Amino acid sequence: MPLEGHWRRVNTPLRRLTTRERNIVIAVVAVTIAGVVALILATIDDSRPAPAPGCISAVVAGFTGAEPLEACGARARRICAANAGQTDPRSMAILESCRRAGLP
C-alpha cells in the first residue's frame, strides 16, 4: 500500500539549480559542443598527399587489415600489369590507382 505523499516526496528534486549554476551548465555544454565540432572539422580533410606523377598509391586488404601499397616507375608498371584483368577488390583498387596515375 503506497504511503500518502510518497510519490511527491520521491519525485521532488532536492533543490532547484540557481541561475549561476544553470549558466555554468549551459556554458560547459556549449564549450563541449564547440570542441567536438572543431575536432570534426579539423580531421575531416584528407591529409594524404596525392602520389607523384607515374606513382600509384592504394590502400588494399592485407592479412591483418588495410595495407598501403605505394610504388613508382618500373615497379608501379609491374604491379599494374600483374593485376590487369583481375576482378577481385584488391586488384580493382590497384587498377583504379593505375588509371589515376595514367599507367597502362
> Do residues 95 and 80 make contact, with C-beta atoms less than 8 angstroms apart?
yes
* Structural domain total, the chain: 2
Q: Can you tell me the mean pLDDT for 21-45?
A: 94
Q: Which of 8-17, 31-40, 65-74, 82-91 has the lowest mean pLDDT?
A: 8-17
pTM: 0.54
Per-residue pLDDT reduced to its tens digit, 47-58: 777 778 889 998
C-alpha separations of 75 from 64, 85, 89, 101 in Å: 24, 18, 20, 13
* Shared-domain flag, residues 59 and 39: no
Residue spans of beta strands (DSSP E) within 1-104: 55-61, 66-72
* Shared-domain flag, residues 36 and 71: no
* Shared-domain flag, residues 97 and 65: yes
Give CA angle at 17 (12, 18), nearest 5°: 140
Its domain, for residue 17, covers 6-43
Average pLDDT of the chain is: 88
* Shared-domain flag, residues 81 and 60: yes
Q: Within a domain: residue 96?
A: yes
Q: Within a domain: residue 49?
A: no
* Shared-domain flag, residues 59 and 37: no
Per-residue pLDDT reduced to its tens digit, 1-27: 677 888 888 888 888 889 999 999 999
Q: Within a domain: residue 25?
A: yes
